[in-house]
A = this chain, B = another copy of it.
């Protein structure tokens, strides 16, 4: 069976203005790779309903799963839930379980469950909740879309709950071989190795090590033996070019 595909929709003006360095893409990418799910595309859009709806509808048709991050808090700029409902053509309504959780959470903190916070109990009709043990306000799953928080610590906890619904695949195997050769010197041989190892994906990433050019060669694939074979051929190639294997992949 083929591994499932996924995409990520990052929602937030703060990422596009440069105020905030996104940390969720890299986290989700690594987790999905470990689960054998292929992250194929990421989009970042502003807090604008039509932009979110358009991106979400494009991604949910194209990929098995869509994860969204951001825009599910209590303030006026948190419009993700409304946009997701609009994308699915459904209404938003208070979810009794979310409402109970929020009531309990704010009661225990002697805080008021005001109308802004009540917004965090509202979800698209038909959505299932995704738990948030940190700050009570849940995310949700609707269709193949998982709606998660933007704050990394909360997103990460929600992601674990979301993954209950994700069908894992074969874990993507990887091998990284770094060497003190410039990628341009080995490119032709590397192309030949890639062509002879079509069941792997070989990437070449140049970097600087102690002021000298170096290259990390990354082999990825579903079959451990195929990855090992390609990695062995890369090591032999480095030897052929009188290069040294470095311990410090960039």
* B16 pairs with A40, CB closer than 8 A: yes
Residues of B within 8 A of A18 (CB): 26-33, 39
Q: How many copies of this chain are found per oligomer?
A: 2
Chosen A-B contacts, 13 in total, with CB atoms closer than 8 Å, are A13-B220, A16-B39, A17-B172, A19-B218, A25-B44, A40-B51, A41-B43, A47-B203, A75-B204, A76-B194, A117-B184, A117-B187, A119-B187
Choose the segment among A80-88, A90-98, A107-115, A122-130 that binds chain B (4+ C-beta atoms closer than 8 Å). A107-115
A116 within 8 A of B: yes
Task: Name the residue on B nearest A102 (C-beta).
Answer: B184
| Separation of A220 and B47 alpha carbons in the complex (Å) | 14
Q: What is the CB-to-nearest-CB distance from A230 to chain B, in angstroms, rounded to a whole number?
A: 13
| Chain A count of residues within 8 A CB distance of the other chain | 65
A233 within 8 A of B: no
* B202 pairs with A77, CB closer than 8 A: yes
A243 within 8 A of B: no
* B44 pairs with A41, CB closer than 8 A: yes
Known: A75-B191, A218-B14. A42 touches B40 (CB 8 A): no
* A111 pairs with B205, CB closer than 8 A: no
Residues of B within 8 A of A13 (CB): 201, 203, 220
Q: Is the interface of A mostly helix, strand, loop or mixed?
A: mixed
Residues of B within 8 A of A139 (CB): none
Known: A39-B17, A41-B44. A76 touches B205 (CB 8 A): no
* B15 pairs with A205, CB closer than 8 A: no
Known: A45-B41, A74-B183, A75-B187. A203 touches B14 (CB 8 A): yes
Can you list the 10 inter-chain pairs with the closest CB atoms, starting with the nearest? Answer: A116-B187, A18-B29, A18-B30, A42-B44, A75-B204, A76-B191, A74-B184, A117-B184, A74-B187, A21-B26
Which listed residue, B116, B185, B205, touches A114 by the CB 8 Å rule?
B185
Q: What is the CB-to-nearest-CB distance from A111 to chain B, in angstroms, rounded to a whole number?
A: 7
